[in-house]
């Protein structure tokens, strides 16, 4: 019988942000909203790095937010 167990790679929020070159605040917001897989270990949150990469690869920008960005006027700084 072939019983293989895939142990997930778990990293802190700060280390996850460093690995992906993202702001810590962005990762922390995704963890607190429940959008990414994470667990609490004592006072720290550990992010499943593989699932986080899947989340980033599958996320898309909504067309409404793109249209809103194009519609907002840009005021030059004098």
d(CA 40, CA 38): 7
**19 occurs within a structural domain:** yes
Across the range 3-25, mean pLDDT stands at 95
CB 48 within 8 A of CB 7: no
The answer to whether position 20 is within a domain reads yes
Q: State the pLDDT confidence band at 57, using cuts at 50, 70 and 90.
A: very high
Say how far apart CA 61 and CA 52 lie, in whole Å: 17
Whether residue 71 lies inside any domain: the answer is no
Q: How many domains in the chain?
A: 1
The answer to whether residue 47 is domain-embedded is yes
Helix (H, G, I), strand (E, B) or coil at 18: helix
Q: Give the pLDDT band (50/70/90) at residue 67.
A: low
């Amino acid at each position: 019988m072939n019983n293989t167990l895939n142990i997930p790679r778990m990293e802190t929020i700060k280390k996850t942000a460093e690995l992906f070159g993202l702001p810590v605040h962005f990762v922390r917001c995704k963890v607190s909203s429940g959008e990414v897989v994470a667990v609490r270990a004592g006072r720290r949150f550990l992010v499943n790095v593989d699932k986080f990469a899947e989340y980033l690869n599958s996320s898309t920008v909504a067309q409404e937010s793109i249209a809103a960005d194009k519609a907002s006027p840009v005021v030059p700084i004098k």
